Amino acid sequence: MNITLIFFLGLIIALIGVIPPGLLNMTAAKISLKEGYNRGIIFSIGVCTIVMLQTYIAAIFARYLSNHPDVIEILQRVAFVIFVLITIYFLKLAQKQPKPHIDADAKSKHSRYFQGMLLSSLNMFPIPYQAYMTITLASVGWLSFETTSILAYVAGAAMGTFIMLYIYIFFFDKIKNKQLTSQKNMNYVIGSITGLIALWTFINILREL
């Protein structure tokens, strides 16, 4: 499999996963707005460091699942329940209309890097997302689970995440007053995405019965 193709597949998939406004991209944007672009980029590099680790774990997990289809069936049902609960949580949270607050006080570059790593570590969605996508890519022959392929995919995922954070950093001035960036609408977006994933998972479960 072409390493370059795998790299760009990882880039595109990760980029799509970070498009919805969330804690990481909004924090990167607000840091750059208050402290300058360099601080926002340092934060983004910290985020991408953890994304690389999460994507690698997801790929290794996907490789295990590909060799144990019976485990996939069990996890599919568990995932359905989890996504339904997450959907309900975010839709309920959106109705409360909490006031968004992100601390962006002046800090050193090193602290912004480690803040990016910390917030990214708290965001566990990339692991199941990337595990699902790598299994899908492998099933159609676009990705193998060889070490070089996995590393190329991981590098692409990190780059795709960084590109989207970079876009938020440099375009936040234009979108900060839009309704899309409000906490309420962010929760609705996340709830809708997880709801669609839950529906898709349920359909796949019914097909296998």
Kindly state whether residue 59 falls inside one of the protein's structural domains. Answer: yes
Tokens representing 92? 């309920």
C-beta separation of 82 from 152 below 8 A: no
Kindly state whether residue 11 falls inside one of the protein's structural domains. Answer: yes
Output the pTM of the full model.
0.72
Range of the domain at 161: 3-204
Kindly state whether residue 181 falls inside one of the protein's structural domains. Answer: yes
Give the per-residue pLDDT at 75.
65
Distance CA(95)–CA(110), nearest Å, equals: 37
Surface-to-core class of residue 1, CB atoms within 10 Å of its CB (0-12 exposed, 13-18 middle, 19+ buried): middle
Tokens representing 12? 């595109």
C-beta separation of 53 from 122 below 8 A: no
Give the per-residue pLDDT at 45.
94
Residue 207 has pLDDT above 60, yes or no: yes
Tens of pLDDT, residues 2-60: 889 999 999 999 988 787 667 788 888 888 888 888 899 999 999 999 999 999 999 99
How many structural domains compose the chain?
1
Mean pLDDT of the chain: 79
Distance CA(66)–CA(139), nearest Å, equals: 9
Nearest to 169 by CA among 27, 18, 2: 27
Nearest to 8 by CA among 163, 156, 185, 179: 156
Q: What percent of the chain has pLDDT over 90?
A: 24
C-beta separation of 44 from 162 below 8 A: yes
Kindly state whether residue 21 falls inside one of the protein's structural domains. Answer: yes
Give the per-residue pLDDT at 101.
47
Give the per-residue pLDDT at 176.
57
Kindly state whether residue 209 falls inside one of the protein's structural domains. Answer: no
- One-letter amino acid at 172 equals F
